[in-house]
Every structure is written in C-alpha cells, then in structure tokens.
Chains A and B, each alone.
Chain A
Amino acid sequence: MQKKISSIPFSGTPEQEAQLKETIARYIDDPGAVMPVLQEAQDIYGYLPYEVQKMVAEGLGVPLEEVYGVATFYSQFALSPKGKYNISVCLGTACYVKGSGDILSRLSDILGIEAEECTADGKFSLTACRCIGACGLAPVIMVNEDVYGRLTVEDVQGIIDKYND
C-alpha cells in the first residue's frame, strides 16, 4: 500500500530542530546514515513530513529522493502524524477473516480519513497494523493502549464517541 502524505501543516519547534541537527551530526560520517537518522527523526517528530526529510537530506548531503525512497519502503516510517488518539486496526489473518476490513472502512467513513492519515484537528489517526497477538478477541482494535475486541461494525461509533468529548 502506498503511504499517504499528510496535508496537515508542519509545526516543528526549535527544540526539535536542534535535536535533529544533533542526531545528523552524530551520523554524518556513517555511509549508511539515512536509516538511523530517519528512525531518530521519527522519534523526535512522531512522523516524517517533507520539512523533516528535507532537513535530513540536506544535513546528510544526500538527495531528498533517496531519503523519501527509504521512508516509503519501510513500514516503520510514517508520513502522517499520529493523532491524540491513534486507532490501530488489526489486519492480521484472524482479525481479517473475522471482518476487521469492514471495521476499518467504518472508522474511515466516520473519521473522514484513510488509513495512515490523521484528522485535521489532530485528534484521531488511523493505522492498519499487523497482528497484535490478541487473536482470541478478533476482530480487535486499539485506541492508544485501550484494547477493544469481538467487535462488529455497529460498535465502532460508540467507541469513537467515548473519545470525542
């Protein structure tokens, strides 16, 4: 699946930028610097928007396309920020056969975003994730650390409402 590029405006702080520059300085002489720098950049910013990837490319002296190529290859890298509440929908085999695909569509309809996107108010983000190890409760979703299992499509609105006040 192609990663969605966030349209939410970038709001990095000077502190974050200083931290990223420090990271780049640590890896600058390392020929394989792009991966570890992107990992730390994601720890700092939560995701890897254009502005961050550009800083990484310029800092390391590699083409921005190379950075983007790495960021879109590995599933661990996100191009969209996580919301205050990140909803992970398990698409592992057990959950999938129990209908988690429909749950994901329902969430997507209610929130108005696709998987790997974040709502404009920054409140919710949606992640399609691999097996979270709760197959007995399939289909399962997690809202931050809260686990909801044995769901039906009808349950979805109620769960969102809990976080929507």
Chain B
Amino acid sequence: MEMLNIKINGKDYTVEKNTTILEACHKFGIKIPTLCYLKEINEIGACRMCLCEVKGARSLVAACVYPIDRDGTEIFTNTPEIQKYRKTNLELLLSNHDKKCLSCPRSDNCELQQLCLEYGVDETKFEGEETHYDEDKTTLHLVRNNNKCILCRRCVAACKEQFVGVIGPNNRGFDTMIGCNFNKNLDEVSCVSCGQCTVVCPTGALVERDDTDKVFAAIADPTKHVVVHTAPSIRATLGECFGMPVGTLVTGKMVAALKMLGFDKVFDTNFGADLTIMEEGTEFIERVKNGGTLPMITSCSPGWVKFCEHYYPDLIPHLSTCKSPQQMQGAMIKSYYAEKAGIDPKDIVVVSVMPCVAKKFEIKRDDQGRDGMQDNDISISTRELAKMIKKAGIQFTELEDEKFDPVMGIGTGAGTIFGATGGVMEAALRTVADVLTGEDLKQIDYNEIRGTEPIKEATYDVAGMQVKVAVTSGLKNAAKLLDDIRAGKSPYQFIEVMCCPGGCVNGGGQPIQPGHVRNFTDLKALRAKALYEDDLGLPLRKSHDNPEIKAIYDEYLEKPGSHLAHELLHTSYVEREKN
C-alpha cells in the first residue's frame, strides 16, 4: 500500500494513495459539506458543495470524487474563495426551491437548511422562474414533494440499490425532475414501499406519510381502547431522535413515553415475533417432512414481500404463509386479548410502531384482518413516534424506565434479534432445534449468520438433519438468491430475506442521520449490536420458552399451525405487475 505525504490547510498528513479528499479530511477531523454523496452508491460529484482547492489544479475539485494520487498534494478546504463558491451554489439551489421551511417536516434535520445556516445565505439572491410540481400523495407510505427536491439523486441511487429503480431523473435542464416512468405517480409503478429513499433524502422532498394525528385522535376518543406495540428494533434506534448515541437501547424510556402519551396498553411486538417463530418454525418442519416448496423464505418484511410479488411472482410459493409479527400481534390483540379483557374488538384501535414505512401498506393488504377489521389500524414509524413524544412535551432522556404490559408484554431474546439481519433465522433455528431434538439446547448462538455481510450462509446439524440456510438483506442481494432458485440451483432449505440493507435496524422508518454521519458510521452494525446485547441479557432467549406464548397456545390457539392459527396468523400473496 503506497502512502503519500500531503498537506491539508497547511498541515502535514500521510494518507493511502487514492483516498478521496473527502475521506482523508474525515479521517483528520475536517467535515466537508456534501449534499449528494452517499458512500459507494452515489459518488457522482453533482452537488458541488464539497468543492476544495488543490494547489496547481486548473479549477476547484469535488472532494468526494477526487482521489489523492500524488505525493506532496496540497489541499485547501475552507478558503474565503471556496466559501464564496459554496455559498453561491446554495443560493442557486434556493433559487428554485420551495422555501416553506416553517411547515416542512424535515425542518429540524434538513441538510440543505443546515448548510444555509452555516454559510449565511441570502435566500432571495437569485429570484426568477421556479418549477412547480403537484405533491404525490398517492401511496400509503410516503409523500413526494418535488418542489423541495435539489436533484442530488441520492433517492435514485437508494432505489436502484434495492433493484427497484422506479425513480430517476426525467427531462433535461430546467425541467429535470426526479420522477417515475411516463410521469406516473408512485402508486402506478412497482415501488415496494421500503422507504429507503426517505432515509437518504437530504431535504423534505421525500417524507413518510405522517399518521400521528390519527393516533392522537384515537387516544383522545374516550370510546376507544388504544393499544400500541413496538417492533424489536425501535428500542435500539428511538434514542437517536433525542440526541442519544447510535446504538443506545432505550426500551424502558420508550415504554414510559408511550404510557405518558396515553395509550391504554403498551405491548411488545417481540411477542408477535416469538409467535411468528412458533408458526414459521412449524411450517418449516412441515415443509421439510411433507415435501413442501423449498427453500422456504421468510415473510416478515412487507417491502420484501411486495418486491417478490412484483418482480419474482413465480417464486411466491416459496414465501412462508405466516403473517409478519406486526400482523400477528394485531390479530391476537383483536381476538385473544379482546376476549380476555372483555372488550369488543371494534372498540380497539391497534397502533404499531415500526422501523418501516412499508408497514403502512401492509396493514391494508388483502387477506389480513377479520370480520372487516384490520389487524392493525395505524402504523407509525420510529420517526413519527419521536415526533409525537416531542409534541407532547415529554422529556424523553429524563424518563424512568417502565415495563411493557402483561398478556403480550413478554418478548424473548429471539424476538429482539428480529430487528437485525439474520435474527429471524437464528430465532427460528433456536426453536426448531429444540422441537426436533426434544431437548433444551444450550448452544444457541448462531454466529455464522450474524453481521452485515450481504449474503451469509451456513449449514447446521439440526437433530441429525443437515439444514442449509442463507440470510440476506437489501433487495439487490436477495435478487441473487432468487435468481438461483429460478435457475434450479439453490442449495438452501430456508432463506431469510429482509428488504432493507442490514434488516429493520436500517429500515425506511428509522431515524434520519445526515450524510456526514451515515457515510462514515456503520449504522446497521451499531444498532444491531444493541439488539444482540439485549438478547444476551434477557432471561428468556427462545421463543417457545415465552410463558405468554405458551399461554396463548394453551388457552386459545391450541397448537402452532392449528386451524385457528391458520385463520388468524397466516395469509396469502398476489401476483403484481412490474411497472
């Protein structure tokens, strides 16, 4: 590895050859502003915010794509001239930008606004014609407002990385806009609702649909019994919205905040995750024993399920028929819990807090719910919950820990790790191995399938049976495994697919971290670490050991895969058009 001696702002440093200026500066504690750069997926030097001076170069260079390849390179990152150019670029961006910042949902964490603040821009410097686009509110999961778009193409890169690619730059020059083919709305194309675009958007051009008013209204309605349940990964990410370090576990504070918000019951979706394992584990054993379709693929991730329906409809028989933990939890709240508490399910409003915006789509899917009732009535993201907590004036960081409510308040470590890629598979193996051996196995850490690698595979000896499994996250990676199944050369019996890279900890509904954090921090690994630590510290780490799960089968469902379990906890899928 060749090392180069360089100067940045007059100080001496040593860097590896071909490090970009941006990376080198980050390493030495200098933040260079960026609006378009996303490490590995959008390195296009388009926004011109990272302009730096390289002594001897003919013009300023884009730090994000400029590799340092000469010994003695002298770089300046913050001269008055550079500041002037960056400021002008910001003013030009603002010349065609909907500047209604006061009512913008990204007002507190807009990367454009932050830079404008730092550079002291004049927002009326260049006044002239502005483009105007209607907002696209056609989908359940997000709102697209092109008037706030700065054409950085981060969303395009994120969508393409998911192998979906339904948004891209259309037209040319002043008319350039990020849109869908033939100017369609998002509900007319095969968007999978993953929301990765909303996480990377630097401005308010792509934001999740805000359903918080519906939740506040339900809580205020005295005739409604409002039950909330929170997905495994929320406890590892919610703290970020309140300035806590990435990977802080805030389970107790989160429950306390939900109780203060006025929910009648606060349940843990880890319970739903444990229930999923009971059903999915049973389904897997049955498929293996009875020659069912293999490999079986997990169905917890609604973005993944929708992707399969649009892009690989021929592989639908491989999908587990199990509903997701969210849907199982909702279904059990409106049946088992309603009966136990003596409440008419029609008076119950179930709110789910999810790391995901595709969950907003999932709650309204066909073949979910019963008697015309949805399993879940409202699904909100981690970000929306944070918004509610802030609006209610709750001082989150100062709260004393509280516990989930009984009946569906116990979750095992197996449920917790659902939030990270590999977690569902590991949870399933813990249970399947115990069920098949009839023992209480002590070795329950399946380290081969942990971590953030794109595709992980392993072969496990489960009660004398060799089970070959694969785990993947991010749809680009999933597509590789799916192509193998199509070609008849998939060696696996069981595959876990999560739509978002890294799993739910990196879901489309998770806290937004600005580019300069996202590009240089492994968010997925830090957040997942918190979940695995939680798992390790819990008294129960196998789904079938959960006493509330045992109770629900004893008192209500009879056994996994029973007739009632099928009616309440399983679903079907539909072929969708690719567009």
* Residues of chain A at the chain B interface (Cβ within 8 Å): 1-3, 5, 50, 53, 62-69, 72-75
Contact = CB atoms under 8 A, between A and B. Distances in A.
Interface string B147-175: 00000000000001000111111111001
A82 B121 CA distance: 48
A50 B182 contact: yes
Contact of B160 (A63, A64, A72, A73): A63
B168 A1 contact: no
Given A2-B175, A63-B181, A65-B180, 6 more contacts: A2-B171, A53-B181, A63-B168, A69-B169, A72-B170, A75-B172
A5 B166 CA distance: 18
B307 to A, nearest CB: 13
Contact of B164 (A50, A63, A73, A74): A63
B541 to A, nearest CB: 42
A65 to B, nearest CB: 4
Given A1-B175, A63-B166, A68 B182 contact: yes
Nearest to A53: B181
Contacts of B168: 63, 65-66, 68-69
Nearest to A50: B182
Contacts of A66: 165, 168
B579 interface: yes
Interface size classification for chain B: 10 to 19
Contacts of B175: 1-2
Interface string B366-380: 000000000000000
A10 to B, nearest CB: 13
A44 to B, nearest CB: 20
Contacts of B181: 53, 63-65, 67-68
A53 B181 CA distance: 10
Interface in B166-222: 166-172, 175, 180-183, 189
A65 B181 CA distance: 4
A65 B172 contact: no
B165 to A, nearest CB: 3
B161 to A, nearest CB: 12
Nearest to A63: B165
Contacts of A68: 168, 170, 181-182
B171 A65 contact: no
13 contacts: A3-B171, A5-B183, A63-B181, A65-B166, A65-B167, A65-B168, A65-B189, A66-B165, A68-B182, A72-B171, A73-B171, A74-B172, A75-B172
Interface in B490-511: none
A139 B107 CA distance: 51
